[in-house]
Amino acid sequence: MTIRLAVIPGDGIGPEVVTEGLKVLDAVSARFSLQIERTEYDLGARRWHATGETLPDTVLDELRAHDAILLGAVGDPSVPSGVLERGLLLRLRFELDHYVNLRPVKLFPGVRSPLADIKPEQVDFLVVREGTEGAYAGSGGFLRRGTPQEIATEESVNTAFGVARVVRDAFTRAAGRPRRKLTVVHKNNVLVHAGDLWARTVREVAAEFPGVSVDYCHVDAATIYFVTDPGRFDVIVTDNLFGDILTDLGAAIAGGIGLAASGNINPQRTTPSMFEPVHGSAPDIAGRGLADPTATILSVAMLLDHLGYREASQAVEAAVAEDLLERSTAGRRTTAHIGDAIAAKIVG
Amino acid sequence: MTIRLAVIPGDGIGPEVVTEGLKVLDAVSARFSLQIERTEYDLGARRWHATGETLPDTVLDELRAHDAILLGAVGDPSVPSGVLERGLLLRLRFELDHYVNLRPVKLFPGVRSPLADIKPEQVDFLVVREGTEGAYAGSGGFLRRGTPQEIATEESVNTAFGVARVVRDAFTRAAGRPRRKLTVVHKNNVLVHAGDLWARTVREVAAEFPGVSVDYCHVDAATIYFVTDPGRFDVIVTDNLFGDILTDLGAAIAGGIGLAASGNINPQRTTPSMFEPVHGSAPDIAGRGLADPTATILSVAMLLDHLGYREASQAVEAAVAEDLLERSTAGRRTTAHIGDAIAAKIVG
Ligand SMILES: CC(C)[C@H](C(=O)O)[C@@H](O)C(=O)O
Ligand SMILES: CC(C)[C@H](C(=O)O)[C@@H](O)C(=O)O
């Protein structure tokens, strides 16, 4: 059993947290006799400054030959906003057809939520964010740029194909959970075309899943429920932009983006899926051992699960859960110390 | 001193909360010898069912002849999603050029926030939401609707004219507040065209306001700060869609949409501005005296302030603040009881 893993440490705190993710993967490899064949790819701000490249086609081709990708973070203030995000991160998601951007929102016992009187069991849901279309399609432009008559547009592109497959994936995940509840989030009273396509698609796919109950929530109202009644959610499915916004809020209520994992998944596995912490490159704290590697380590757990190593994945999640419980009493630890502690629990 | 007020009670709990808003306005009228000339307009679900009309041109013309509009809520499950929102509410905002959608986020003493350990002084900011363009422009459509090849689009339309005027308004408001801080919220690493227009515009307008400090925050990160550090915000300026989402979240952290007021403002006063609670029509609780009229009453305070009746506006806000303080000890009250209590404090 060998995992061919591509590693993209990226920018800012990316390399630091990825180091800890790999440390944990080494522990998993030892305990579960899994072979990990790693190839590291130097992509991000440094490469862009040196060569002007964000993601060369040849590198993309090499990445395709892997089983999975572990990514740290992308983005740096020295690079114009959007260049690395669009040219590297989003290009990977789009080219590798990661149409399921899976983001669990889970409050682990021992972790402090900013919400008053909240219990871990009230925050345990899954956001299935569409990952390959919507407002992220890159369709937009300028007219008369730089003049008082300028118009700048952004187009959200939604296809029956793209919506149906992510909605079906979300139904499937909901059907596999005890509560079997799916909440569709959109803004169909304003975005009437995309909203109509989403609503029709949900109605159609729902017929295939009679055991799953479905409700609908406008995105604005959803943010209210995130902070007043997160327990109402089991699985959420939503578009790329709403999913981006809601999952940061979700990370916040579950104790912070230092803990929020994600998978950019191609469920058919025709391309490598990519796992990354939800937090960004956080250049302000980079290189100082301050970053929390937990989100990356939980992303490693998602990676293992995706590749079918269920037991290994659960071992990682259990080690994290144990470490999080202990944190309330532990003093402040560095990035490496947290990685060490979690890895040690896995080796046992 | 006469205010020509157009009243649109609308749907669901709209009529109930508007009744209380008008009750308070009567109290203001008595105490400050203000004349209020009211005309009520029957718009919303009932009219649509009866006549197919959402907002006839003749009614729009009549509305223009008023000093301000008080609106309850619009929307009913018996009407297809979007029909009343686009045909009535958004049409009013667009036709009357309400480019400043002003939404204070303020935690009043005595009100319970869902956030742990939060103090009222930590939640006191103003969201200036653009109100007449962006993703609300209504630009979008279908290709091959109903087929597996369907494409549904939504276009966010942003103009130099539209962005500059709302950004300038936000700077002006920030300059008038003690902290003089403006936070621009967008998603300029993905929505690179609109984001670029917003960023350039902010840079240009900032030159006119050297006393105001400016920072920028991606919309996803902004939701995190709303729940972990709302005290960092003083004035926020953002586009129509992000503003919609953030202000519901803002309402939630400030104690709920039962308290959140808003003004759809044309600062030049060439058209009547429109004041409305942020909550919707809430058909599930309509007609049962359960709705909280406070958001509408605070919207009346905003209306008075906009028309230059500063003292009257402050009297309403003070009465609300007093009532909110007492609520923690009072039992559950009906919509009318809350209106009575606040009105009584104003008459004195
Ligand atoms: C960095 C950015 C392009 C990205 C996104 O918007 O998807 C990030 O916010 C995320 O959520 O992964
Ligand atoms: C009802 C809806 C069209 C409206 C909006 O999206 O603007 C509402 O959510 C609001 O915030 O006033």
Q: For residue A141, list chain B residues with Cβ-Cβ distance below 8 A.
A: 193
For tokens 């203001």, what's the residue? B28
> What is the mean predicted confidence (pLDDT) over A7-21?
98
Can you tell me the distance from the alpha carbon of A194 to that of B135, in angstroms, rounded to the nearest whole number?
A: 12
Pairing of β B273-277 and β B261-265: antiparallel
Cα four-point dihedral sign A136, A142, A145, A150: negative
pLDDT exceeds 90 at position B59: yes
Query: What SS3 class is residue B9?
Result: strand
| Nearest ligand 1 atom to alpha carbon A86 | 3
Question: With a 6 A CB cut-off, is B276 part of the ligand 2 pocket?
Answer: no
Confidence of residue B347 (pLDDT cuts 50, 70, 90): very high
Catalytic residue among B187, B234, B305, B345: B187
pLDDT, tens only, B67-87: 999 999 999 999 999 999 999
For residue A176, the model assigns a pLDDT of 98
Name the phi and psi angles at B76, rounded to 5.
Answer: -150, 140
Cβ–ligand 2 distance for B245 under 6 Å, the answer: no
Give the number of whichever ligand sits closest to the CA of residue A102.
1
Q: Which atom of ligand 1 is nearest to the CA of B187?
A: 6
Contact in structure between B16 and B335 (CB atoms under 8 Å)? yes
Q: CA A297 to CA B172: how far, in whole Å?
A: 46
Secondary structure string (H, E, C) spanning A320-348: HHHHHHHHCCCCCCCHHHHHHHHHHHHHC
Contact B136, B157 (CB under 8 A): no
Task: Name residue, tokens 């030049």.
Answer: B268
Closest CA relative to residue A90, chosen from A137, A50, A159, A20:
A137
**Spatial contact of A119 and A141, defined as CB atoms under 8 Å apart:** no
pLDDT score for A332? 86
Is A44 labelled as part of a ligand binding site? no
* Residue B348 reports pLDDT greater than 90: no
Please, what is the angle between helix B310-327 and helix B294-306, to 10°? Answer: 160
Looking up tokens 């619009």 gives B74
Rounded distance between C-alpha atoms, residue A253 and residue A80, angstroms = 30
Catalytic residue among B11, B76, B244, B305: B244
Closest approach of A236 to chain B, Cα-based (Å): 17
Which tens digit of pLDDT belongs to each residue from B203-251?
999 999 999 999 999 999 999 999 999 999 999 999 999 999 999 999 9
Residue A321 has pLDDT above 90, yes or no: yes
Residue in B129, B229, B241, B278 to test binding to A, most A beta-carbons within 10 Å: B241
Cα A80 to its chain centre, rounded Å, is 23
Query: Can you tell me the distance from the alpha carbon of A25 to that of A315, in angstroms, rounded to the nearest whole number?
Result: 11
**pLDDT of residue A330 exceeding 90:** no
Q: List the single residue in B with minimal CA-CA distance to A196.
A: B152
Tens of pLDDT, residue by residue over A59-97, are 999 999 999 999 999 999 999 999 999 999 999 999 999
- Bigger pLDDT: A330 or A157? A157
Looking at all shown ligands, the one closest to residue A93's CA atom is 1
Q: Which of A217, A219, A220 to mutate to test the pocket of ligand 2 (most atoms within 8 A of CB)?
A: A220
Chain B residues with CB under 8 Å of A192 CB are 81-82, 86, 140
pLDDT digits (tens, 9 = 90+) for B275-318: 999 999 999 999 999 999 999 999 999 999 999 999 999 999 99
Contact B192 A81 (CB under 8 A): yes
pLDDT band at B330 (very low <50, low <70, confident <90, very high): confident
**Domains within chain A, CATH numbers bracketed:** 1-99+260-347 (3.40.718.10), 113-254 (3.40.718.10)
Spell out which residues of chain A touch residue B244, defining contact as CB-CB under 8 Å.
Answer: 187, 190, 219-220
Question: What residue ranges in A207-298 does DSSP mark as E strands?
Answer: 213-218, 235-238, 261-265, 273-277
- Interface residue of A105, A223, A244 to substitute, partner B, most B CBs within 10 Å: A223
* DSSP single-letter state for residue A1: -
Mutate one of A112, A150, A184, A229 to test the B interface: name it (highest B CB count within 10 A). Answer: A150
Does the beta carbon of A189 sit less than 6 angstroms from any atom of ligand 2? yes
Residue nearest to atom 7 of ligand 2 (CA): B244
Question: How many CB pairs lie under 8 A apart between chains A and B?
Answer: 211
The pTM of the full predicted model, rounded to 2 decimals, is: 0.98
User: Tokens 């578009």 appear where?
Assistant: A239
Closest Cα to atom 9 of ligand 1: A244
Inter-chain CB proximity A227 and B257 less than 8 Å: no
Q: How far apart are CA A225 and CA A213, in angstroms?
A: 18
> Over 80: is that where the pLDDT of A54 sits?
yes
CB atoms within 10 A of CB B52: 8
